[in-house]
Amino acid sequence: MLDAKEVLSKVRCDHFVDGEYVKSYGTKEETLLNPANNEPIATFKLGNAKDINHAVSIASAAFHNGPWRHMEIEERAQILYKMAGLINDNSEFLAMLESLNVGKLYKACLHGDVPRAAENFKFFTTPRWRHMTERYRMGSNFLGRSIDAESIVDREPLGVCGIIKPWNSPLMLASWYLAPCLLMGNTCVIKPSPWAPLSIMQLGEIANEAGLPSGVLNIVPGGADAGQALVKNQDVRGIVFTGGDKIGRSIQIENAQVRRKGPHLELGGKAPTIVFDDADMNLAVEGVAHGIFRSQGQSCIAGSRLLVEEKIYPEFMRRLVEYVKTLKISDQFDPAAHIGPLINRTHLQRVEDYIKSGIKEGARLVCGGKRPQGENLDRGNFLEPTIFEVNKPSIKIYREEIFGPVLTTRSFKTVEQAVLMANDTDYGLSANIWTEDLEKAKRVAKALDVGMVWVNCYFVRDLNTPFGGRKCSGNGSAGGRYILEYFSQPKMTCIAHYSK
Ligand code: NAD
């Protein structure tokens, strides 16, 4: 493992604009703390509206006057392929930064997030995306003459795209959008979350080394004011937002004042996990725990509402609690750790407020709920994996996205009841089903009002497939052709051929 101090001494903390790391116009400084001990790891300047508008003007000039959009898609793909290689070459460095900044387990960053980010870049460089032009021919008639009408449908870039990111899994989530955005010939300004900008900020150096023309990728970390400036800037032609439902709604309204193209919104979730009595119990117990406690529950697809068939409910809960108690809470660099710290004290306290409200509203605390004790744990933002049994579905912890290691559980009697309970939420991002009866699983999957369903697994994703939700979970899909469609606009050219 690399030395953390050495990694931090090399980290780029300035904004990346026009192919260079530059100072911010802003004066507000943000110090990031290691979630495991709250010691400072890096300081950067929060971008403000002036920084954003400057970056947009650079991205706009790069789009209109630079070579990027005129290159053949193969040439752009080659540069993105190099970026993928460089992400992999720097995987230990990037994984350590991500882990130090977010508190996500180092092994998950090294073997999951970082290689997956590279994979996302690579995926969009495969030849299949280079042949998106459609061609049609049809016999027709014009001014009394027969013609052979040749129609060509090209996909053209939008222009400057604004990409706004949340703080969980920043590098991997950024790669979902940067790769397709750039492949289609757009230029962009990405605004990482002020809580977790470090890994994304290193992409500037990687882009330069890969030969990305300057001005094509610009990175300005900042808070709400910077995000708002990006949405309001009229030179931005498309907004891609990943974050909470509340901000997503405000962006939808703001966006409508500025541009006709709607924003692409990937928002929160409150995923149901349905366990039927015929499930492989050992696998389901581990799967359910993984689905909620992985990344300390700080995931949009966290399976935070567990619904278990009544017949097996007591036994399943007994085994689940027994299993959860074996999970090791520790520093994110401990190879034996299952659960690391939450990102910061503010977020920890927010999650603890939910726990208090659950108790106040009458949910039964089955396990967890406290900060774990221990010499090395006191200084960090650790929280025990927490399970509540819920009687009233109206209570806050059952309805709102907690984004922490808190599972709510209920039992159900019939398949129909399970479906009703699963769909009884404002969100519609994902769901999980555990059963040995795959026909039943398919029927239930069809009845669930969500964008993604995992059966007997969790977050296994072919990059060709859509990632996205419905209802308050958003309106678009990352992945495959779905996101390429957002980042491009069709143009039809019809040529009449007259017979001589
Ligand atoms: P958030 O909504 O608070 O912030 C997201 C981003 O928006 C940040 O960069 C923030 O600085 C910026 N922002 C804040 N106010 C803004 C405004 N008025 N205009 C423009 N930008 C603004 O979310 P968060 O706390 O950073 O992240 C957690 C949320 O993200 C959770 O709800 C989680 O479910 C969601 N999320 C969704 C997905 C998905 O793919 N569906 C993936 C990861 C996270």
Please list the residues that pair with 387 across neighbouring strands.
367, 407
Predicted confidence band of residue 461 (pLDDT cuts 50, 70, 90): very high
Query: Cα–Cα distance between 203 and 226 in angstroms, integer?
Result: 19
Element at 177 (helix H, strand E): helix 170-183
Q: What is the pLDDT of residue 376?
A: 86
Q: Which atom of ligand 1 is nearest to the CA of 192?
A: 9
Marked catalytic residue, from 109, 161, 181, 300: 300
For the stretch 365-378, pLDDT in tens is 999 999 999 878 99
Considering only CA atoms, which of 416, 458, 158, 437 is closest in space to residue 300? 458
Q: What is the Cα–Cα distance from 147 to 164, expressed in whole angstroms?
A: 48
Cite the DSSP H helix spans in 211-280: 224-232, 245-258
Contact in structure between 201 and 44 (CB atoms under 8 Å):
yes
- The residue whose CA is least distant from atom 13 of ligand 1 is 224
Distance 167 CA to ligand 1 centre (A): 7
pLDDT band at 91 (very low <50, low <70, confident <90, very high): very high
Each residue of 5-49: pLDDT tens digit? 999 999 999 999 999 999 999 999 999 999 999 999 999 999 999
Report the pLDDT value the prediction gives residue 500, as an integer from 0 to 100: 82
CA of 169 to the centre of ligand 1 (A): 12
Q: Which residues contact 266 (CB under 8 A, 6 or more apart)?
A: 240, 241, 242, 243, 300, 467, 468, 469, 473, 474, 476, 478
Active site residue 300: yes
Total-model pTM: 0.97
Are 406 and 386 within 8 A, CB to CB?
yes
Atom 32 of ligand 1 has which residue's CA nearest to it? 244
472 alpha carbon to ligand 1 midpoint, in Å?
13
Amino acid letter, 68? W
- In this predicted structure, the answer to whether residue 132 has a pLDDT above a threshold of 90 is no
Q: Give the model's confidence band at 131: pLDDT under 50 very low, under 70 low, under 90 confident, else very high.
A: confident
